[in-house]
Amino acid sequence: MRDYSDIYIDGAWVPSDGSGSIEVINAGTEQVMGSIPDGAASDVDKAVAAARRAFDSWAGTPVEERQKYMVRLNEALQARGPEIAEVISGEVGMPITWANMIQAGLPAGNMQNYATLLDDFSFEETIGNSLVVKEPVGVVGAITPWNYPLHQIICKLGGALAAGCTFVLKPSEVAPLNAFILAEIVHEVGLPEGVFNLVSGTGPEVGAAIAAHPDVDMVSFTGSTRAGKAVAAAAAGTVKRVALELGGKSANIVLDDADFTDVIPKGVFACYLNSGQTCTAHTRMLVPRSRYDEAVAVAVATAEGTEVDDPTKEGMHLGPLISQAQWDRVQGYIQKGVDEGAVVAAGGLGKPEGKETGYFVKPTVLAEVTNDMTVAQEEIFGPVLSIIAYDDEDDAVRIANDSLYGLSGGVWSSDQDRAVAVARRMRTGMVDVNGGAFNIAAPFGGYKQSGYGRENGPYGIDEFLQVKSLQL
């Protein structure tokens, strides 16, 4: 059990003004694994005041000194990596093998990457008779999700620290324990008081207070599109900078010249990673109508061969969803698909055999899906793949772009140039071409209702900088 009774403000663990606590449930056992304070808006006031006091000093700290702190954070994250992986595996349900690589490994690597970028990052340039300088935006309020909880925190924190900003964090109350470990690490490495502050609690209370706070200069939010709209509306009152990384309904276009036996299983994996609880998941697989039955058969075989098991076990299987609410949501979408005419080709309703305890879902393939169906338009956040037929390349691009979202996508072809040409036509922030690997140095973010702003790499530092021109 990990029970935290305090929040972290101004370099110290302090009691919350909130009167209650929030229990954290283990996704695999459905048992309580810890608790955190249910924070109050007045906690946000104190955290923001601390961040404001610390800002001038931190912004004026030489880049080399900020970089040293970030390297120490990376080293401490690495040292506690196995512990972090175990905690997030329990909170989120990702199997421990994956959690070590992704939930613990990526955050540490990303913090180091931000630190390394400062070696060559330019905070000023000369344009004609003007000196253009990049300055930290100020106090950043970060509201982060539960699916890749620590990674999404570090995407924001690393860029903000590199830019010279101070930070107030509200982690997801569903998977918050990893954020408290981060606060312990921040304290251990001696980050100056007030530079990093942690206030736990709910979105309607703590998140709303951060978004509307007049002394927060920027709010960076990752989560659902519905919640992102509320954050943007709350932030509008003070005209603060807003960065949003929201939902996705990413299309994976398999062109007619692709090797289906090779690429279809990879496409299924791109949908199912983290049991589908991934904003960039390739949940719509677009295949040529002339090869539709072949594609479905390969996808079904892949789904039926996908193991679902205890997240504490080593292996490359799928774990449970994070909560009962999420399980119910996914079941509702599968039923909605059937009601609208989709065919359950693999998986379907209910839990996998022998997995009555834990929020486990059957890896599911829905066939005969058309792009106007709810399962093709709304984010499900579970291991549910919709397979959609297209007539030709233009039709595939049309279907891919027929979405409120534009976060990610994929293209598969035996001709790399052809795949790139199709990828360029997709209205989405990221496209994996023939399975191109995730790159923490490349910009991460979306088009349309998937949000605005970019994280990771130099773009992730720029996001937290203001631009000033001095005419000389």
- Active-site pick, 91, 205, 245, 379: 245
Per-residue pLDDT, 263: 98
Asked whether residue 433 is domain-assigned, the answer is: yes
Q: Are residues 385 and 303 in the same domain?
A: yes
Q: Are residues 217 and 356 in the same domain?
A: no
In the chain, % of residues over pLDDT 70:
100
Q: For this structure, is 279 an active site residue?
A: yes
Asked whether residue 306 is domain-assigned, the answer is: yes
Under 8 Å between Cβ of 91 and 35: no
Q: Are residues 353 and 381 in the same domain?
A: yes
Q: Are residues 256 and 242 in the same domain?
A: no
Q: Are residues 232 and 256 in the same domain?
A: no
Asked whether residue 70 is domain-assigned, the answer is: yes
Q: Are residues 43 and 147 in the same domain?
A: yes
Q: Exposed/middle/buried for 241, CB within 10 Å: 0-12, 13-18, 19+?
A: middle
Q: How many structural domains are present in the chain?
A: 2
* 3-class secondary structure, 341: coil
Domain span holding position 313: 251-440
Question: What are the start-end ranges of the E strands in 84-209?
Answer: 124-127, 130-136, 139-143, 166-170, 196-198
Q: Six-digit token pair at 189?
A: 């490495």
Q: Are residues 457 and 327 in the same domain?
A: no
Asked whether residue 445 is domain-assigned, the answer is: no
Q: What is the CATH number of the domain that holds 128?
A: 3.40.605.10
Integer Cα distance of 192 and 416 in angstroms: 49
Residue ranges in the chain whose pLDDT is less than 70:
none
| DSSP assignment of 254-302 | E-TTS-HHHHHHHHHHHHHGGGG--TT---EEEEEGGGHHHHHHHHHHH
Residue of 274, 271, 267 whose CA lies nearest to 249: 271
Asked whether residue 100 is domain-assigned, the answer is: yes
Pairing verdict, β 166-170 and 218-222: unpaired
Q: Exposed/middle/buried for 274, CB within 10 Å: 0-12, 13-18, 19+?
A: buried
How many CA atoms lie within 13 Å of 179's alpha carbon, on the beta-carbon side?
A: 34
Integer Cα distance of 451 and 344 in angstroms: 32
Q: Six-digit token pair at 293?
A: 């039955």
Q: Are residues 235 and 380 in the same domain?
A: no
Backbone φ and ψ for 389, nearest 5 degrees, come out as -90, 145
Residue of 13, 8, 43, 38 whose CA lies nearest to 24: 38
Under 8 Å between Cβ of 385 and 283: yes
Which stretches of 164-290 are DSSP H helices? 177-189, 208-212, 225-236, 260-272
Distances (CA, A) of 147 to 133, 216, 338: 36, 25, 27
Integer Cα distance of 185 and 179 in angstroms: 10
Integer Cα distance of 78 and 36 in angstroms: 24
Give Cα 309 distance to the centre of its chain: 23
Asked whether residue 168 is domain-assigned, the answer is: yes
* 3-class secondary structure, 395: helix
Asked whether residue 35 is domain-assigned, the answer is: yes
Q: Are residues 203 and 308 in the same domain?
A: no
Integer Cα distance of 73 and 67 in angstroms: 10
Asked whether residue 416 is domain-assigned, the answer is: yes
3-state helix, strand and coil shares in percent for the chain, rounded to the nearest 5: 40, 20, 35
pLDDT, tens only, 403-443 = 999 999 999 999 999 999 999 999 999 999 999 999 999 99
Per-residue pLDDT, 10: 98
Under 8 Å between Cβ of 420 and 410: no
Q: Are residues 167 and 228 in the same domain?
A: yes
pLDDT, tens only, 94-151 = 999 999 999 999 999 999 999 999 999 999 999 999 999 999 999 999 999 999 999 9
Under 8 Å between Cβ of 274 and 147: yes
Q: What is the CATH number of the domain that holds 369?
A: 3.40.309.10
Q: Are residues 431 and 462 in the same domain?
A: no
Look at phi and psi of residue 362 and say left if phi exceeds 0, alpha if psi is from -120 to 50, else beta. Answer: beta
Q: Are residues 293 and 193 in the same domain?
A: no
Distances (CA, A) of 104 to 1, 83, 150, 162, 469: 20, 9, 8, 21, 40
- Active-site pick, 91, 173, 279, 379: 279
Query: Reading across the β-sheet that carries 139-143, which strands appear in turn?
Result: 12-15, 6-9, 196-198, 166-170, 139-143, 218-222, 241-245, 451-452
Q: For this structure, is 245 an active site residue?
A: yes
